[in-house]
């Protein structure tokens, strides 16, 4: 039996790497992928706790997270494609209209 | 009496430890692959390679989900994440058709701050993870299996389930509306 703490630690590592990637990377697509990594880390934590507590509720929530992630990917990619069409770039250091 | 008792506990502890270690043994490869491919995603500058690295990471995570007695989540992970979402990313990358790879990221203050943020976040999460599994904090029970999952989905979480279908419909319509916009519109 693998201790659930091992999975929770892996989930912590993945979430931190996702945050790191989000802030280090400068193109929108890779930053979006980093968000997906964070969502997956949270899924892993949900499943580890579901296994530790013996309740299936965690698995149900994982299904919802996967569904919401799919919807989010569709909308996010559509927005990124629109940005690219209008600006011909997806580099976040070249998109600085909001900078004062 | 006391000595033999102690010896027994020690032996039990040793076998338990060995069993645990053995359990981690075959787990080592998917975990290493998963972390390694996310690291490779951070280091690589080619977006298509990044997406493929993530496919690998998500497939490994799917295997780990299976080890956590969640076969449905494992299947959904491989089908939806590694299959559908990452293929969508690859399609988007194909549409951008960026000729030159992204310029090398400079070691700026931002990278440094991001590293600190990541480390602090990891420390916090690790402490929370270890505390969460402290003895007595969770009561292990029998896992319900796939039937229990379906029952929960259609009883306790029925509203959430139905709202999810509405969400997917909204995403579909929204994506069509966004993609159908004319240039500059």
Give the CATH architecture of domain A4-87. Answer: Orthogonal Bundle (1.10)
**Phi, psi (5° rounding) for residue B45?**
-110, 0
Calpha distance B119→A19 (Å, rounded): 10
Q: Which residues of A touch B142 (CB under 8 A)?
A: 54
Computed over every residue of chain A, the mean pLDDT equals 88
- Identify from A12, A34, A39, A94 which residue to disrupt to test chain B contact, counting B C-beta atoms within 10 A and taking the largest count: A12
Nearest to B54 by CA among A62, A19, A36: A36
Tell me: the pLDDT tens digits for B162-185?
Answer: 999 999 999 999 998 987 766 554
Of A32, A51, A57, the CB nearest to B152: A57
Of A8, A26, A63, the CB nearest to B132: A8
Tell me: the pLDDT tens digits for B58-113?
Answer: 999 999 999 888 889 999 999 999 989 999 999 988 887 776 666 666 678 888 89
Tell me: the pLDDT tens digits for B9-64?
Answer: 444 444 444 444 455 667 788 889 999 999 999 998 888 899 999 999 999 999 99
Of A3, A55, A72, the CB nearest to B20: A3
Mean pLDDT within A77-97:
85
Complex-level ipTM: 0.91
Mean pLDDT within B114-121:
92
> What does the domain layout of chain A look like in residue ranges?
4-87
The pLDDT score that the predictor gives to residue B45 is 85
Calpha distance B21→A1 (Å, rounded): 10
Chain-centre distance of CA B70, in angstroms?
Answer: 13
CATH 1.20.120.1200 for domain B1-99, yes or no, is: yes
pTM for the full model? 0.83
């Amino acid at each position: 039996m693998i201790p659930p703490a091992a999975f929770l630690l892996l989930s912590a590592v993945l979430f931190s790497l996702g945050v790191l990637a989000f802030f280090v990377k400068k193109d929108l697509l890779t930053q979006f992928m980093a968000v997906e990594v964070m969502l997956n880390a949270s899924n892993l934590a949900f499943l580890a706790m579901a296994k530790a507590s013996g309740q299936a509720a965690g698995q149900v929530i994982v299904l919802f997270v996967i569904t919401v992630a799919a919807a989010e990917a569709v909308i996010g990619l559509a927005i990124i494609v629109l940005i690219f069409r209008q600006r011909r770039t997806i580099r976040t250091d070249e998109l600085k209209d909001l900078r004062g | 009496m006391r000595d033999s008792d102690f010896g027994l506990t020690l032996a039990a502890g040793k076998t338990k430890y060995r069993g645990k270690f053995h359990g981690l043994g075959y787990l080592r490869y998917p975990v290493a692959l998963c972390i390694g491919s996310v690291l490779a995603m951070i280091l690589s500058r080619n977006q298509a390679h990044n997406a493929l690295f993530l496919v690998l990471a998500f497939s490994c995570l799917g295997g780990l989900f299976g080890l956590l007695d969640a076969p449905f989540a494992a299947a959904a992970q491989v089908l939806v994440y590694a299959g559908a979402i990452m293929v969508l990313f690859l399609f988007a990358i194909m549409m951008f058709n960026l000729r030159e790879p992204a310029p090398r990221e400079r070691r700026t203050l931002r990278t440094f701050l991001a590293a600190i943020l990541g480390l602090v976040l990891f420390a916090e999460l690790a402490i929370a993870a270890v505390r969460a599994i402290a003895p007595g904090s969770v009561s292990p029970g029998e896992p319900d299996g796939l039937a229990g999952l379906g029952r929960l989905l259609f009883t306790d979480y029925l509203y959430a389930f139905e709202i999810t279908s509405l969400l997917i419909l909204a995403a579909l319509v929204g994506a069509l509306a966004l993609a159908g916009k004319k240039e500059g519109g």
